[in-house]
Structure 1
Amino acid sequence: MTDSTPADETSFGTLYRDHRSWLEGWLSRRLGDAWEAADLAQDTFLRVLAAHPGQRLPSLREPRAYLLTVGKRLLINHYKRRSLERAYLEALANLPEALAPSPEQRWILLEALQALDELLDGLPRAVRQAFLWAQLEGVDYATIAERLQVSERTVKRYMVKAYAHCLLVAL
């Protein structure tokens, strides 16, 4: 009995072996950091593997284009996370030292902020902003309406849309 790969399937190992160094190089040129590029390349292959358990992938006409699509999404997430971290660290710098969280608390807060950012991804900017002001800062709907230059009724619609989005993503 032979262990042959059907013509319409590709081995994950073959994909990894043939394209890992190319993907790392591409990511490294964008990031300017070989270590981060290696991490993102690994994450890319982990995503591919998670999407296709069992080591067999559908036949890929353009495997590099497929890997590039997954890698670009991870790169965008990487930049968003870095931006979020910078904003968080700037906010921390403005806190009195007595109120500053411990390194462990900082990590937990950053993870929570990242999860919230991913949860709200896909919402229109105004809906997202209204939700964040209401939930994180306790801003009332009238003030949000003023800030966004919309009616209070529109803010209520934004909030319903944001809550519905969160519920759908959580399911």
Structure 2
Amino acid sequence: MSVPAHPVAKLYVDHHGWLKNWLRKKLGCSQRAADLVQDTFERVLRTQASAQPEILREPRAYLVTVAGRLVANHYRRQTLEDAWLAALAQMPEPVAPSPEEQLLILHTLNEVDALLNALPHKVRTAFLLSQLEGLGYAEIGERLGVTVRTVKRYMAQAFEECLMSLE
């Protein structure tokens, strides 16, 4: 068998089976593990140009890092989906959204979750305290141990990210 010329192709040939086994043990599901292996190598391909030295030096550590993030995202999405399904089960049948609307809502929830998780911790916390708990900036500042001016900056950053995600 000839050695693939592309570094990611070689990485795939050398470590695909090992990564799939690692993910299967983590997830307890060989089909989901296979999906995440493909997602991992897709992500590696997209970021390969900037990360090539790490790939070549410590390939398994690099793959575990990438795959580990995907596993965390998987569990976060699963938790969100479970919460949505529980809320849906509480709705009276005539009020429940159609299957198409349910899928759209779940997709939107995942997008909002990803947006919030991309924010720095204090920015996300300030935004959620304001939007979900209705706290004022002074109260948020007290909880976070920052000034009102800093809370305003956090909120501006959060709103800017929200607006940019709409584009």
TM-score under structure 2 normalisation? 0.76
Aligned residues: 155
Identity of aligned residues (%): 44
Q: Which has the higher contact order (CA 8 A, sep 6+)?
A: 1
Structure 2 distance, partners of 1:112, 1:23, is 30
Structure 1 residue 89 corresponds to structure 2 residue 71:
no
Q: Distance in 2 between matches of 1:103 and 1:81?
A: 18
Report the RMSD for the aligned CA atoms in angstroms: 3.3
Q: Please, which runs of 5 or more residues in structure 2 have no aligned partner?
A: none
Structure-1-length-normalised TM-score: 0.74
Question: Which 4+ residue blocks in structure 1 deviate beyond 4 angstroms?
Answer: 139-142, 153-158, 167-171
CA deviation string 1:56-115 (max 9, x = no partner): x44611101111110000000000000000111111111111111111111111111111
The Cα offsets for residues 99-143 of structure 1, whole Å up to 9 and x where unpaired, read as 11111111111111111111111343532423542xxxxx6545x
> Aligned equivalents of 2:70 and 2:143: distance in 1?
34
Matched, 1:11 2:7: yes
2:57 alignment partner, SS class: coil
Amino acid paired to 1:22: W
> Which amino acid letter does the alignment assign opposite residue 126 of structure 2?
V
Q: Distance in 2 between matches of 1:116 and 1:160?
A: 17
Shift of 1:52: 2.8
Shift of 1:156: 5.4
Structure 1, gaps ≥5 residues long = 134-138
The match for 1:52 is 48
Deviation of 1:12 after TM superposition, in Å, equals 1.6
Aligned to 2:66: 70
Greater helix percent: which structure? 2
Once structures 1 and 2 are overlaid, which stretch shifts more, 157-166 or 27-36? Answer: 157-166
Number of the residue aligned with 1:127: 126
SS in structure 1 at match of 2:74: helix
| Cα distance, 1:156–1:93 mapped onto 2, change above 3 Å | farther
CA contact (8 A) 1:28 1:34 kept: yes
The CA deviation string for residues 4-40 of structure 1, in whole angstroms up to 9 with x for no partner, is 95xxxx5221111110111111111111111101101
